[in-house]
Amino acid sequence: MKVLKVDHIGVAVKNLDETLKFYQDILGLELQGTEVVEEQKVKVAFLPVGDTEVELLESTDPDGPIAKFIEKKGEGIQHIAFRVPNIEEAIQELKEKGVRMIDEKPRYGAGGAKIAFCHPKSTNGVLVELSERE
C-alpha cells in the first residue's frame, strides 16, 4: 500500500459562505474554487494549504451524507483523504486486508479525482477517503 500524502481534510459545514469568513477572511487561506458533486450531494469549496487542502462541504440535499453527519455530530471534520497512486489497487489491497469498504469501485470526486471511502468501523472511527488524481 502506498500513500503519497494527505490529499485533503473534509470539513462538514452548514453554510460555505459563512464558514469562509473564518478560513478566508481570518485565516487568510485562498478559495481556489467550488464545485457541486451531485453524486455526493455536496457543494465543495477548496482551500489549498501547502501540498494539501481544506475541503469545506455543504450539503445540497437533506438526505445527503453531510446533512446526516451534521444532524448527528454537528459541524466539524468529517473525513481525511489520502492520495494514492492507483485507487483500484488500493481498494483491492484493503479489501484483502479485511477493511470494510463503503465503495468497492472508485467514484467521481471533486476536481475529477477517483475516490473511494473506507468505513469508519474499520479505521478506528475516522472516515477515510482514498483519492487518485491525474
Ligand X SMILES: C[C@@H](C(=O)O)C(=O)SCCNC(=O)CCNC(=O)[C@H](O)C(C)(C)COP(=O)(O)OP(=O)(O)OC[C@H]1O[C@@H](n2cnc3c(N)ncnc32)[C@H](O)[C@@H]1OP(=O)(O)O
End-to-end CA distance of the chain: 18
| φ and ψ of 94, to 5 deg | -65, -40
Binding-site member from 53, 78, 84, 118 for ligand X (CB under 6 A): 78
Q: Which is nearer to Co ion, 67 or 81 (CB)?
A: 81
CA atoms within 13 A on the CB side of 104: 4
56 contacts which partner out of Co ion, ligand X, none, CB within 5 to 8 A by kind?
none
Residue 91: CB partners within 8 Å, gap ≥ 6?
101, 103, 104, 105, 106, 116, 130
Q: Give the one entry of ligand X, Co ion, none that residue 113 binds, where binding means its C-beta sits below a cut-off of 5 to 8 angstroms depending on kind.
A: ligand X
Considering only 13-21, 23-31, 34-42, 92-100, which stretch makes contact with ligand X by CB under 6 A? 34-42
The single residue among 46, 54, 56, 65 that binds ligand X, judged by CB under 6 A, is 65
